[in-house]
Structure 1
């Protein structure tokens, strides 16, 4: 019996790569995706290999409708079988997403963060797949005034999660994971991250393993669809005035 096949968008590195490794450990073969051709981080491919899984890499610019439409068929053709699980992890988060984003910025964010996951989910359903997990953001519960194009596009994906869950049932389950601050960039100091953790209702931030485990849980949760699981230290319960990068500095 062949292993089930998972496509994880935006999985050459960081969170997407870690999710791919966790799924490989759980018995999946994995399709790694990036917007442009290149090589995944060595740690990602090493984890997959150690799990005895097969992986192949795919490049597709999710801002390009034709590339998005062709991704699921390309993965299925390369592996010689259907894609069972789709994890919509890739995101657009542009530096020009100011307090009043331009129409071009809005279009770019919606193309990658909302439209592409929607199209990929329907393509998964067409070829017989059964599970979609959308990676959202805890800010969708209590939005703030920063990165408006990103935030609104993630809110759209959150609503699409519920709508697609109904539209694609009973053949396909569609759920979401909404992480909090998980992998801090160089914009954060270690001291700031510690202070931010203290602001969370649970007094801690999530780690990358907890987010990946949430994806795996929903991949297996056969009685759940249209749900969003917040993995955020409780951040989604609280309204923060600004993006975390501006707080506790």
Structure 2
């Protein structure tokens, strides 16, 4: 009897990462959930793990720390007796800055977490792949890569780097590893959003709606199954990537 796929989801215990992990549990995968601060899965993910009797474990790592990044795949191998053959790079660093306030340290930190760590993890997963045991990597991006604006440039430039890394890795890691990107739009609001703002923002989307976490998770599940696709970026954003917004969504439609 063959073993189910083993999926490493970075940032997999909370928010969007947890929604993705829950969807992969429903696909019958075992889960290696990376976290930095919160080891316990959120309630919805815990329920999915229980419902599907998912084999899972959580693994801590600071994605800005090279030794933590390099140690993550070996730690998973030691626990499960095998390396992950599905990698979802969902963890992300986002801080508030602009072109006037962003400094060298901020740019470097965002690049380490949002671009370098996912690229290294993809390369390490691919090194263990073969014709008999192929791998797939899904990088979670951001719809703003289509029309970058001036807000949060440290974050934006790191996501642009990861988008290009998606295409580079797809070319260089083939044929045994596929690499795709999923670019969400506004999905889960932070505390900075005011009452009614999400409804007003949804109305500005070409489709008149925002993507849900489940929409993003469905796209990731499709990418994992899409055996003839690599190097592609799928936007799941209500059509936001078709529009050039002047500011970050948190600054739009506030009243």
TM-score (norm 1): 0.97
What's the counterpart of residue 4 of structure 1? 5
Q: Corresponding residue for 1:65?
A: 66
Aligned alpha-carbon RMSD (Å): 1.1
The 3-state SS of whatever aligns with 1:170 is: coil
* Whole-angstrom distance in 1 between the partners of 2:185 and 2:253: 16
Question: In the alignment, is residue 205 of structure 1 matched against residue 206 of structure 2?
Answer: no
Distance in structure 2 (CA, Å) of the matches to 1:38 and 1:121: 22
1:21 is paired with a residue whose SS is helix
8 Å CA contact 1:90, 1:113 repeated in 2: yes
What secondary structure sits across from 1:92 in the alignment? coil
Q: Which moved more, 1:197-206 or 1:29-38?
A: 29-38
* Contact 2:98 2:150 survives alignment (8 Å): no
Q: Structure 1: 5+ residue runs without aligned partners?
A: none
Partner Cα separation in structure 2 for residue 178 and residue 204 of structure 1: 16
Is 1:98 the counterpart of 2:103? The answer is no
Q: Does the 8 Å CA contact 2:89/2:138 hold for their aligned counterparts?
A: yes
CA distance in 2, matches of 1:75, 1:198: 43
Task: Quote the residue 2:236 is aligned against.
Answer: 231
Which ranges in structure 2 are unaligned for 5 or more consecutive residues?
none
Pairing of 1:92-241 with structure 2 (within 5 A): 92-95=93-96, 97-100=97-100, 101-128=102-129, 130-241=135-246
User: In structure 1, what is the Cα distance between the partners aligned to 2:228 and 2:92?
Assistant: 28
Deviation digits for residues 31-52 of structure 1 (CA, Å, limit 9, x no counterpart): 1111246322233222112112
Are 1:20 and 2:21 matched, yes or no? Answer: yes
Query: In 2, distance between residues paired with 1:209 and 1:28?
Result: 17
User: What secondary structure is seen at the aligned counterpart in 2 of 1:82?
Assistant: coil
Cross-structure match for 1:45: 46
Give 1:20 deviation, angstroms: 0.4
User: What TM-score results when the alignment is normalised by the length of structure 2?
Assistant: 0.95
